[in-house]
Amino acid sequence: MARICVITSDGRAYYALVSRLRNAGLSFLSMLPGDSAAECQLILTTRGEARLFEGATMALEELDDDPSVLRSQVLSRLAGGDGTLTIGIDPGLRIGMAAFYGETRLAARTFNSRDRLCSGVVRLIRKTETARSLVRIGNGNPTLANSIALRLTARLPKTVIEIVDESGTSLRNPQTRGMQKDQSAAARIAFRKGLVVRQRG
């Protein structure tokens, strides 16, 4: 894992940064202002202190408090924004969603409404600086899949949205151990090529 360093003289900011990183499951190194940051690949600090450092920095003020969104923001910055954010969706009475930056899992969630699902997907994509974002939606419930695709297309005009043949995605897989059934199906949908609804504009 790339070295993430927390450096700030603001006690409250330090506590907030450390808490968010721990909630997101990201390892980090705490350093004092004035320490050499030569080995740091990303420095997390405050907006006012960011100008004191060379190299990649992120300010507390720009980090989301949702662990999966923060994880996506940090991984994207470490990659220089040169990566793909992929989201798989398994429509049904319970809507499964799984999100990945590259092959790293960001989130696996279940939603009970289209509105909450779409709001979560839009927030994740808009908050992440990335070269490409891709949403793949299973076709097991065509009406619901098309409804979700239309909603996301309207709110995310630069995101590639695909409808995917989800046959076989309900089968268990060791790589999705620990996920609920609809979440594991969404994870497999995320990496299955589908029919493009809207190309990146």
Under 8 Å between Cβ of 96 and 90: yes
φ, ψ dihedrals at 13, nearest 5°: -65, -40
> What pLDDT is recorded for position 37?
87
pLDDT at 181: 84
Question: pLDDT (tens digit, 9 = 90+) per residue, 40-79?
Answer: 999 999 999 999 998 899 999 999 999 999 999 999 998 8
Query: What domains are defined for the chain?
Result: 4-63 (3.40.50.11220), 84-198 (3.30.420.140)
Is 100 a residue whose pLDDT tops 70?
yes
**CA separation for the pair 176, 188 (Å, rounded):** 9
Residue type, 167: S
Summarize the confidence of residues 193-197 as an average pLDDT: 92
Q: Is residue 75 within 8 Å of 104, Cβ to Cβ?
A: yes
Three-state secondary structure along the chain?
Answer: CCCEEEECCCHHHHHHHHHHHHHCCCCCEEECCCCCCCCCCEEEECCCCHHHCCCCEEEHHHCCCCHHHHHHHHHHHHCCCCCEEEEEEECCCCEEEEEEECCEEEEEEEECCHHHHHHHHHHHHHHCCCCEEEEEEECCCHHHHHHHHHHHHHHCCCCEEEEECCCCCCCCCHHHCCCCHHHHHHHHHHCCCCEEEECCC
Q: Quick: pLDDT tens for 114-166.
A: 999 999 999 999 999 888 999 999 999 999 999 999 999 999 999 999 999 98
Given pLDDT bands bounded at 50, 70 and 90, which one contains residue 196? very high
